[in-house]
Structure 1
């Protein structure tokens, strides 16, 4: 028997670590919105929470994942945002994969979902009005503080067909933004090896950029929340039932991002990005259809399965074309 070379052993170990990290990232990204699914978001915060309310958990992640995959593919394939164009060994497979992802988004739009928000507590954590001597009806759109959830706020007050269209557009927009949010990391890593560049000598390890990525998300969310408070005239809907689920969502997303960056350091982003984008969408679809019963009926489920198979095939073709 011949002894296994250290190089071969090290390469096999890196593959195992890479795919293990990628699997954890898929599970965490596909599940991080689950804690918020049973909570009443009222008027929500930015795009993701209102989208879940409009089209459900499964379609929200599937829509955003498909558009995120297309943005990540286009920016790397054609060299957008200052990143050098990436050549692929099999261009035909690459374009077919991108085309399938685009087709899957169209198919997903025809999946009808049954979204119903359940909430055990809709009384605000912060008082919206000072105590009064005589009872008066609360201002329009402000929770009365008696646990009533009858008031139709946010997307609940919109007709179902319009709500669905808004949810689709929000999911696609958030996916496009998310697919381009990692371009600065790729730009810095690419220019870190160029003499005379402002980023010369910067780290080329993906994990070193996790803190910056998460800090940027935290600061941006804080700015959005301040704007929301100003728009609401210092009467934000801060419900007790949202605090722990929101924190848990953030922790799961952060761990998923760390696992993804770790997987990219072992496998490279050209392999992990398409697999992750399709994988976490399928995990979210399973949560939405099997646990929350967002998709019911044989014909509806068949369309969901078809669209999921199309996006999975597209992501795999994209990954294989780059190897």
Structure 2
């Protein structure tokens, strides 16, 4: 009788964990696909001021989370993950200027997914490899998620989808009287492609590695005789340190930018509130990702959360901004949705 009750309790706990994990993943997908919508109609110039506002909002959300969590121990190593993300993020504007958001998103999203998934699955960078009950389904899910990125970003001769619309406006559509001319504008077409693709690969690897420091602390927290022995196993306890790394790195990059601009940075006041809202949405989505990592493991959450936002962003283009039109684009979106759904279900069932 005791054994039966124990098994029932274990099954109930597992179902609860899966419910929390998949619900958090769904919220993260929706918010990541939505977070640039508030700034879509505002000029953000070269993006540096916008990123700093975005990261300030991210840090404020983490401060609230830290207070709710009763200020758990601050591990400086977790800030490295924030540094990696912020460093990857400052490459977005040069990528868009050199190869466009469509190709750039395809490359960095694919490398983000593969780096995050593979590092967790195979135990790269000193973290423990994560096992799933059905590894073949997990491989299929990761592969389909990468394919969904290709589907979402593939070129079309019809109206440009939101994914390839300049959602972090860099004013690249203005050929005359431009005030945001930068070093990339002096490159040859071949040079732009090489630089843009290289930066996109680097950005994807940095994005995909941003969770590694937290996973490293958690893994070594379960071992005796390490610096991190006894560290919390609840991922939200690391949000404040991780987001502090984002804000600190972004502030340093912005100060460097101000120095390079001889204390005349391009500031766009109309982007402050939209940028702040965008940062809040991103921060909440990222917190949900931390929760998903806790209840599903990163090897399951990464394929789901990195594949879905592109489709959500595209749906904004269909339903709200009316930017995506034409049968070809609708069929493309339907195909992408089917691939995303198949990948997510494969990944989900690999955990069951």
Q: TM-score range by the shorter chain?
A: 0.7 to 0.9
2:286 maps to which residue? 257
In structure 2, C-alpha distance between the alignment counterparts of 1:9 and 1:95, rounded to whole Å: 27
TM-score, normalised on structure 2?
0.68
Distance in 2 (CA, whole Å) between partners of 1:293 and 1:62 is 22
2:268 maps to which of 214, 234, 239: 239
1:130 corresponds in structure 2 to none
Greater radius of gyration (CA): 1
Choose the corresponding residue for 2:342, options 310, 313, 317. Answer: 313
Once the two structures are superposed, the pairs formed by residues 1-323 of structure 1 within 5 Å of their partners are 12-45=15-48, 46-48=90-92, 55=100, 64-112=108-156, 113=160, 150-151=177-178, 153-154=180-181, 173-323=202-352
* Secondary structure of 1:306's aligned partner: helix
Deviation at 1:118, TM superposition (A): 10
Q: Tell me how far 1:298 sits from its aligned partner.
A: 2.2
Q: Counterpart of 1:31 in 2: which secondary structure?
A: coil
Please identify, of 209-218 and 264-273, the stretch whose mean Cα deviation from structure 2 is larger. Answer: 264-273
For residue 61 of structure 1, report the CA deviation from its aligned partner. Answer: 6.1
Give the unaligned 5+ runs of structure 1: 123-148
The whole-number CA distance in structure 2 between the counterparts of 1:164 and 1:289 is 29
Show the counterpart of 2:85: none
- Mapped partners of 1:189, 1:19: distance in 2: 21
TM-align CA RMSD:
3.7
Structure number with the higher helix fraction is 2
Q: Offset of 1:205 from its aligned partner?
A: 0.8
Q: Distance in 2 between matches of 1:70 and 1:229?
A: 35
The Cα of 1:7 is off from its aligned counterpart by 6.1
Aligned residues: 291
Change (3 A) 1:318 1:169: farther
CA distance in 2, matches of 1:85, 1:19: 21
Tell me the distance in 2 between the aligned counterparts of 1:37 and 1:218: 22
